[in-house]
Amino acid sequence: MIFRLCRLSAPAFVLGLLAGCAQFPVAGTLPSDEPIKTAVRHDDVTPRAILAYGRHVAELDVAGFAKELKAIEGQGGSDPMSQMRLALLHAQPRADADLARGLALLDKLLANRSPDAASLHPLARIVHVQLATRARLMAQNEALLSEQQAGREAVANLQQKLDALTAIERSLPAPARRPSETSQ
């Protein structure tokens, strides 16, 4: 009787164990590509919260950007977290963002040795490198665009000179033919 009860309950026990293990992720599986929606709290100073804030400001429209900028600047913007948020706002690739101001805010944050600022230093260094690289690339791009414009002007100038020489050549009378040697 006990043997029969064990024989019937063993598969149920194994299925129960497998069902319980199904809720744990399998090692080596990758998470889905869906972004994790995180509520943005202005009092959270963890790197995850700062990155969530960066994602949040990247999705703002022009009015939302201006509103967020005014809200942070209205708070004074002198504490390290406000400086980091302002730097992230100014790091956005939009017309009303100021990359140089974002870099200056990060420099100020990195120079601050308070414990609140020290917790933000690793992320601030990463963002600073990214912004400095973007500023350098933008300067190089502007230099290349000015060189390209100068090259176009030089080509246009040379084309005008070539057209003028061609017009002069066409206006010259045709050379007189030499009398050909008579065949003997």
Q: Is 119 exposed, middle or buried (0-12, 13-18, 19+ CB in 10 A)?
A: middle
Q: How high is the pLDDT of residue 30?
A: 42
Judge whether 81 and 54 are in contact, CB under 8 Å.
no
Note down the domain range covering 93: 38-166
Residue 181 within a domain: no
Task: Report how far residue 103's alpha carbon sits from residue 91's, in angstroms, rounded to the nearest whole number.
Answer: 8
pLDDT above 70 covers a percentage of the chain that reads: 71
Residue 139 within a domain: yes
Q: How high is the pLDDT of residue 69?
A: 86
Task: Report how far residue 118's alpha carbon sits from residue 80's, in angstroms, rounded to the nearest whole number.
Answer: 9
pLDDT in tens, 86-113: 999 888 887 667 888 899 999 999 999 9
Q: Average model confidence (pLDDT) for the chain?
A: 79
Q: How high is the pLDDT of residue 163?
A: 96
> Is the confidence at residue 5, as pLDDT, over 90?
no
Amino acid (one-letter) located at 177: R
pLDDT tier at 51, thresholds 50, 70, 90: confident
DSSP assignments along 17-85, one per residue: HHHHHTTSPPTTPPPPSSPPP----TT--SHHHHHHHHHHHHT--HHHHHHHHHHHHHT-S-SHHHHHH
> Is the confidence at residue 27, as pLDDT, over 50?
no
How many domains, in total, are found in the chain?
1
Residue 171 within a domain: no
**pTM (two decimals):** 0.60
